């Protein structure tokens, strides 16, 4: 992406976000009691003020976009050469959502092992054996440390409980 | 062959699980949720009792602080846990009588919990800073009439918030919400600091939190809410001032489980608590901090909390303090 | 008692093997605890507290102080090596520490962090011993209006960490401010953006946001292009910090220490803003201004001096007033109480031997910190040599465990993931993460103190200018804004 595109998209995004906050989100999702004595003390005052400034910054970015260079520069993040970048990105998102479901059911240790293996292979590791060993050892070692030394109640899940 | 062994093992385990459900409770570590942050009154109380209590239980007690929203986040975690006695809550005056009385949007109520004990009572004291020139409740009330009096608390719907309103109302201030200003702070320590640096005029909170400031003469105590005087506090008791109703205004710490906690489990907790609170070292540590050790069995604990809740609820309704929305 | 008598009395208290052993063990626990993201210095101190109940008061308190100081330093190790701050206070260290590690200079960055930390620690302890009474009474002049002015001034740091576009920095800060409004309202207790979820009512967990914003985007970027890092030197190499580095950064270290002492002695601010303020001041004054944020060793020195400078100074309000300055000292105050000690002015009269014992212990702690820190750096260096595609899954697992441990809440792991994607989008759109973080820390303080001021005065805004302290910070704020404005003008003129 060129600096111009970045500035333009960001400015547009900020303006839309500010409009959404002011018109929909704050009236609906911030409750303010009816007996507020002064507007500056109301719970909605601060969110409204911030949304307003966000809108202004958005406009500023749109203005700045006019003068920015339309040519992509060196800092741009190149996608991987195998063309699977978006696939991997979505896969990682799926892994994260699945983790949230698995944590209370499978328990943290087993979930962590699965996540480790999946992500290591998602990143096309060059050391598959090491990855597998680490996938078993690291979650267990962390469990021992957090549960036994630090006394944290690591979620155990409903299937196999660790001592 | 392998299959049959497995089936047998599973059936046996299931049977064992059904019959011996609570006879040998607990069979593993018990998860104890502390709904307030490390270093707070609840946390220190919980961690102090965990030692003798763990010895009485015979299985490890895993302490878990789940902080947030004035104790609501941790309380909800226990409310939603299965009632097998392996997830219990350190309930506190703020999370389980003031909050339910004041907040309409609270995601739980008293009926969602079964209290197995209350083991600690904290007298509440009100204090001002010496520079204010106030030395008695009468003077404070007189100044309220003049205006410009404020009180701090550890947040909206916290015990110090309700305590100040209740004290003012008992001493005849018609409308404590508008005659005096409430300046909420984030946390109990900040509430006291606010009085020290003159942000607010007075604070009413646990005597243990005020003890060191009173001993150092940085704060002047005006009142303690118990019938008995509190050591180190050179201030009249509520009864001496003829406000017996304020005796209800005390802090407490107890233990609760989800509402469908089995009777056997509750009974076991009763026994364990009796053993734990008899520990001399525990008593010594707690009393050094200004707590009164008073053990209540499950029935009495429920009555006590319900009674305090009803008092607070009436007050909140009368003053129009209930937080809606 | 004269000063010498007090000193001797204190010496006789600490001159035991147990006291020094406790201090040493405490620092070791602290460095390890601080180096594990999510465990943080706070948790480490809380976990150590029960062990101190059965000890002599001075031994127990020294143990806790050791954990505290070790923890604040330990946080910089993962910040530099894996871009995951071990404690919130070390998030400023990431800005330059991690780029240095990427360049193969992790050893140099860690070494500088240690030297800066120990120097700041010493300065802070000396400030505590020499100026405790004076600084404490000064700190009591800070009411909500003074806080408001101070925090407003601190928000100008954002300009210093915004990188090449001030507008994008401002956008980042606004996002942080908006997300910080989630939770229960301070004054009315009503819900703001909570959707009725009790997990949201407590607000978004700070550590979860922090780790999500810094560590997770790296992992997501790895999914985008798993081989992008190949060919970049990452091995630790033999780059070590030199005396020359130290001297070159000495002014920044000293300035950072003093900022730390000042902010530490005021209850309620904490080490993270101090580190950022020290960093941005160092950047403003430095010759290598352009190199800040790309791996400038002076940046590491400044931020570590800023956060360790707080460690001794937070004891000023604790000892002199009995007021805990942050969560950690609130726990430490518990250890005093359990032993029947009541911190405050009277303690300087009644328990002067303990006070001086603590002072001696504190001075020694800077030396111990240096020893333990040097060993820890050697121990953790191997992390820099781990292949990145094994390291990243391990970091992800560590973050899951750590973020859960902060508040024993699986919801926070979700917050971390979500913030990770926000952070990744920000990275792609070149929005700097540091302004977000500063705003997320300072935003609630700014709003709360503003509203508390309004409550105090009955909504009369003139209270915001009520005394010399407020005037001073307002003037500083205006001057800084003017300087920023001038810099922008000059840039456009070129």
Torsion, Cα C444 C448 C450 C453, to 10 degrees, reads: -160
Q: What is the pLDDT of residues C91-131, one digit of tens each?
A: 899 999 988 988 888 888 999 999 999 999 999 999 988 88
Supply the pLDDT for residue C140.
Answer: 81
HEC assignment per residue over B149-193? CEEEECCCCCHHHHHHHHHHHHCCCCCHHHHCEEEECCCHHHHHH
Average pLDDT over residues C200-211: 85
φ, ψ of residue B103 to 5 degrees: the values are: -105, 120
Q: Cα–Cα distance between C187 and C485 in angstroms, integer?
A: 35
Bridge-based pairing of strands B150-153 and C183-184 is: unpaired
B to C CB pairs, distance under 8 Å: 153
Torsion, Cα C250 C256 C262 C266, to 10 degrees, reads: -150
In chain B, which residue's Cα lies nearest the Cα of C185? B156
Does the pLDDT value for residue C373 go beyond 80? yes
Q: Which of residues 245-284 of B touch C (CB under 8 A)?
A: none
Q: Beta partners for A18?
A: none
3-state secondary structure of B204: strand
Q: Which helix (H) or strand (E) holds C100?
A: helix C91-102
Would you state the structure tokens that stand for residue C120, as one six-digit string? 């700041």
Between C46 and A103, whose confidence is greater? A103
Q: Give the count of domains, chain B.
A: 2
Q: What is the pLDDT of residues B58-98, one digit of tens each?
A: 888 888 889 888 889 999 999 988 888 899 999 999 999 99
Supply the pLDDT for residue C402.
Answer: 85
Q: Is residue B234 part of a domain?
A: yes
For residue B62, list chain A residues with Cβ-Cβ distance below 8 A. Answer: 147, 151-153
Q: Is residue B7 part of a domain?
A: no
Choose the final residue of a domain: B199, B216, B248. B248
Residue B282, domain CATH? 3.40.190.150
Q: What is the pLDDT of residues B196-235, one digit of tens each?
A: 888 999 999 998 888 888 888 889 999 999 888 888 888 9
Same domain, B87 and B230: no
Same domain, B86 and B143: no
Under the banding of pLDDT at 50, 70 and 90, the label for residue A59 is: very high
Supply the pLDDT for residue C351.
Answer: 79
Q: Cα–Cα distance between C471 and B295 in angstroms, integer?
A: 54
B267 touching A, CB under 8 A?
no
Q: What is the pLDDT of residues C319-354, one digit of tens each?
A: 887 777 777 887 888 788 777 777 877 777 777 888
3-state secondary structure of B124: strand
Q: CB–CB of A154/A103 below 8 Å?
A: no
Average pLDDT over residues C391-418: 90
Residue C128 CB contacts under 8 Å (≥ 6 apart), including other chains? C312, C313, C315, C316, C319, C359, C362
Q: Cα–Cα distance between C329 and B39 in angstroms, integer?
A: 9
Q: CB–CB of A64/A5 below 8 Å?
A: no
Does the pLDDT value for residue B8 go beyond 50? no
Nearest to C390 among A93, A108, A134 (CB): A134
Supply the pLDDT for residue C234.
Answer: 54
Q: Cα–Cα distance between A107 and B6 in angstroms, integer?
A: 23
Between A32 and B313, whose confidence is greater? B313
Under the banding of pLDDT at 50, 70 and 90, the label for residue C28 is: very high
3-state secondary structure of C235: coil
Supply the pLDDT for residue B5.
Answer: 44
Q: What is the pLDDT of residues B137-168, one digit of tens each?
A: 999 999 998 888 999 998 888 899 999 999 99
Supply the pLDDT for residue A4.
Answer: 84
Residue B199, domain CATH? 3.40.190.10
Same domain, B235 and B155: yes
B293 touching A, CB under 8 A?
no
Residue B116 CB contacts under 8 Å (≥ 6 apart), including other chains? B88, B254, B255, B256, B257, B261, B265, B266, B269, B270, B273, B298, B301
CB contact under 8 A, C389 and A123: yes
Q: What is the pLDDT of residues B258-290, one digit of tens each?
A: 999 998 898 889 899 999 999 998 888 888 778
Residue C455 CB contacts under 8 Å (≥ 6 apart), including other chains? A41, B150, B181, B182, B183, C187
Supply the pLDDT for residue B219.
Answer: 92
Name the burial class of residue C108, with classes exposed (0-12), middle (13-18) and buried (19+) by CB atoms within 10 angstroms of its CB. buried
Name the burial class of residue B23, with classes exposed (0-12), middle (13-18) and buried (19+) by CB atoms within 10 angstroms of its CB. exposed
Between B253 and A2, whose confidence is greater? B253
3-state secondary structure of B91: strand
Does the pLDDT value for residue A78 go beyond 70? no
Q: Beta partners for B113?
A: B258
Torsion, Cα C438 C439 C442 C443, to 10 degrees, reads: -170
Does the pLDDT value for residue B104 go beyond 90? no
Residue A137 CB contacts under 8 Å (≥ 6 apart), including other chains? none
Q: Is residue B60 part of a domain?
A: yes
Q: Is residue B107 part of a domain?
A: yes
Q: What is the pLDDT of residues B106-138, one digit of tens each?
A: 889 898 999 999 999 999 999 999 999 999 999
Q: Which helix (H) or strand (E) holds B125?
A: strand B113-128
Average pLDDT over residues B248-256: 92
Identify from C78, C164, C223, C453 which residue to disrupt to test chain A contact, counting A C-beta atoms within 10 A and taking the largest count.
C223
Q: What is the pLDDT of residues B12-40, one digit of tens each?
A: 444 444 444 566 788 888 999 999 887 77
Q: Which helix (H) or strand (E) holds A47?
A: helix A45-67
Question: Which range among A68-77, A148-157, B71-80, C18-27 shows the weakest confidence by mean pLDDT?
Answer: A68-77
Would you state the structure tokens that stand for residue B94, as one six-digit string? 């703020």
Distance, in angstroms, between C316 CA and closest chain A CA? 29
Does the pLDDT value for residue C232 go beyond 60? no
Q: CB–CB of B215/C344 below 8 Å?
A: yes
Between C304 and C44, whose confidence is greater? C304
Residue C83 CB contacts under 8 Å (≥ 6 apart), including other chains? C94, C98, C214, C215, C218
At which residue do the structure tokens 């990188």 appear? Answer: C163
Question: Which range among C176-190, C198-212, C344-358, C456-470 shows the weakest confidence by mean pLDDT?
Answer: C344-358
Distance, in angstroms, between B232 CA and closest chain A CA? 36
Domain boundaries defined on chain A: 3-67, 85-149
Looking at residue C345, the DSSP 8-state letter turns out to be T
Domain that holds residue B212: 124-248
Supply the pLDDT for residue B148.
Answer: 85
Q: What is the pLDDT of residues C251-264, one digit of tens each?
A: 999 999 999 998 88
Q: Which helix (H) or strand (E) holds B119?
A: strand B113-128
Q: Give the count of domains, chain C.
A: 1
3-state secondary structure of B123: strand
Between C47 and A6, whose confidence is greater? A6
Q: Cα–Cα distance between C460 and A154 in angstroms, integer?
A: 50
Supply the pLDDT for residue C5.
Answer: 73
């Amino acid at each position: 992406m060129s600096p111009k595109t970045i500035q333009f998209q960001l400015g547009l995004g900020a303006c839309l976000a500010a409009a959404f906050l002011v018109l929909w989100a704050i009236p609906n999702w911030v409750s303010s009691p009816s007996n507020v004595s002064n507007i500056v003390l109301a719970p909605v005052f601060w969110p409204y003020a911030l949304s307003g400034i966000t809108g202004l910054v958005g406009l500023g970015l749109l203005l700045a976009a006019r003068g920015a260079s339309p040519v992509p520069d060196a800092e741009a993040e190149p996608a991987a050469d195998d063309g699977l970048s978006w696939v991997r990105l979505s896969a990682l998102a799926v892994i994260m959502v699945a983790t949230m479901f698995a944590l209370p059911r499978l328990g943290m240790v087993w979930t962590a092992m699965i996540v480790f293996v999946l992500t290591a292979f998602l990143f096309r590791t060059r050391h598959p054996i090491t990855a597998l060993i680490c996938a078993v050892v690291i979650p267990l070692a962390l469990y021992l440390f957090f549960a036994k030394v630090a006394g944290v109640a690591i979620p155990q899940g409903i299937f196999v409980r660790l001592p | 062959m392998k299959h049959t062994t497995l089936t047998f093992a599973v059936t046996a385990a299931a049977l064992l699980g059904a019959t011996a459900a609570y006879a040998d409770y607990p069979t593993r570590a018990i998860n104890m949720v502390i709904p307030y942050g490390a270093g707070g009154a609840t946390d220190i109380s919980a961690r102090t009792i965990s030692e003798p209590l763990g010895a009485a239980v015979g299985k490890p007690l895993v302490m878990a602080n789940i902080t947030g929203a004035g104790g609501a986040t941790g309380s909800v975690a226990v409310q939603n846990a299965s009632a097998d006695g392996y997830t219990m809550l350190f309930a506190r005056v703020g999370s389980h009588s003031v909050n339910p009385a004041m907040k309409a949007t609270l995601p739980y109520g008293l009926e969602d919990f079964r209290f197995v004990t209350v083991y600690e009572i904290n007298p509440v004291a009100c204090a001002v800073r010496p520079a204010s020139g106030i030395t008695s409740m009468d003077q404070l009330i007189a100044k309220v009439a003049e205006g410009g009096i404020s009180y701090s608390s550890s947040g909206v719907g916290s015990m110090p918030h309700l305590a100040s309103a209740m004290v003012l109302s008992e001493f005849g201030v018609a409308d404590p919400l508008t005659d005096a200003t409430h300046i909420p702070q984030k946390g109990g320590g900040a509430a006291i600091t606010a009085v020290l640096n003159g942000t607010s005029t007075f604070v009413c909170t646990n005597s243990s939190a005020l003890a060191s400031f009173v001993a150092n003469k940085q704060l002047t105590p005006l009142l303690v809410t118990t019938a008995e005087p509190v050591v180190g506090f050179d201030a009249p008791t509520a009864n001496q001032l003829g406000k017996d109703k304020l005796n209800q205004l005390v802090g407490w710490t107890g233990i609760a489980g989800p509402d469908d906690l089995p009777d056997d489990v509750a009974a076991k907790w009763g026994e364990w608590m009796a053993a734990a609170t008899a520990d001399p070292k525990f008593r010594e540590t707690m009393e050094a901090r200004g707590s009164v050790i008073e053990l209540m069995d499950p029935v009495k604990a429920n009555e006590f909390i319900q009674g305090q809740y009803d008092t607070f609820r009436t007050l909140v309704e009368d003053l129009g303090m209930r937080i809606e929305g | 008692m004269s000063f010498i008598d007090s000193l001797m009395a204190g010496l006789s208290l600490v001159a035991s093997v147990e006291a020094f052993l406790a201090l040493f063990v405490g620092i070791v626990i602290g460095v390890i605890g601080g180096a594990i993201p999510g465990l943080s210095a706070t948790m480490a101190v809380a976990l150590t507290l029960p062990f101190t109940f059965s000890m002599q008061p001075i031994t127990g308190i020294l143990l806790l102080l050791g954990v505290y100081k070790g923890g604040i330093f330990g946080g910089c190790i993962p910040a530099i090596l894996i871009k995951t701050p071990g404690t919130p206070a070390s998030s400023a260290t990431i800005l330059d520490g991690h780029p240095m590690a990427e360049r193969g200079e992790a050893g140099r960055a860690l070494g500088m962090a240690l030297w800066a930390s120990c120097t700041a620690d010493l300065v802070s302890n000396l400030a505590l011993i020499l100026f405790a009474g004076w600084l404490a009474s000064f700190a009591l002049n800070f009411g909500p209006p003074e806080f408001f002015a101070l925090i407003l001034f601190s928000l100008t740091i954002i300009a210093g960490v915004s990188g090449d576009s001030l507008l994008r920095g401002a956008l980042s800060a606004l996002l942080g401010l908006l997300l910080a409004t989630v939770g229960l309202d301070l004054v009315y207790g009503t819900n703001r953006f909570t959707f009725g979820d009790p997990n949201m009512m407590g607000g978004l967990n700070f550590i979860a946001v922090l780790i999500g914003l810094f560590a997770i985007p790296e992992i997501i970027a790895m999914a985008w292009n798993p081989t992008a890092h190949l060919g970049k030197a990452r091995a630790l190499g033999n780059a070590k910090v030199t005396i020359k580095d130290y001297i070159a950064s000495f002014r920044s270290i000293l300035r950072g220490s003093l900022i730390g002492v000042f902010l530490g002695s005021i209850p309620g601010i904490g080490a993270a803003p101090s580190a950022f303020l020290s960093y941005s001041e160092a950047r403003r004054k430095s010759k290598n201004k352009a190199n800040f944020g790309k791996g400038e060793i002076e940046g590491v020195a400044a931020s570590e001096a800023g956060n360790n400078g707080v460690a001794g100074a937070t004891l000023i309000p604790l000892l002199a007033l009995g007021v805990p300055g942050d969560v950690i000292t609130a726990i430490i105050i518990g250890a005093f109480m359990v032993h029947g000690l009541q911190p405050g002015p009277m303690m300087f009269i009644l328990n002067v031997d303990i006070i001086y014992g603590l002072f001696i212990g504190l001075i020694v702690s800077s030396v111990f910190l240096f020893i333990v820190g040097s060993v820890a750096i050697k121990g953790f260096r191997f992390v820099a040599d781990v292949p990145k595609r094994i390291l990243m899954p391990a970091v992800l697992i560590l973050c899951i465990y750590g973020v859960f441990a902060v508040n024993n809440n699986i919801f926070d792991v979700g917050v971390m993931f979500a913030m990770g994607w926000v952070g990744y989008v920000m990275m792609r759109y070149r929005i700097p993460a540091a302004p977000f973080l500063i705003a997320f820390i300072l935003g609630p303080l700014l709003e709360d103190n503003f509203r508390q001021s309004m409550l105090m005065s009955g909504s009369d805004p003139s209270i915001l200018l009520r005394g010399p302290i407020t005037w001073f910070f307002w003037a500083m704020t205006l001057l800084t804004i003017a300087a920023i404005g001038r810099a922008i003008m000059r840039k456009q003129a070129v």
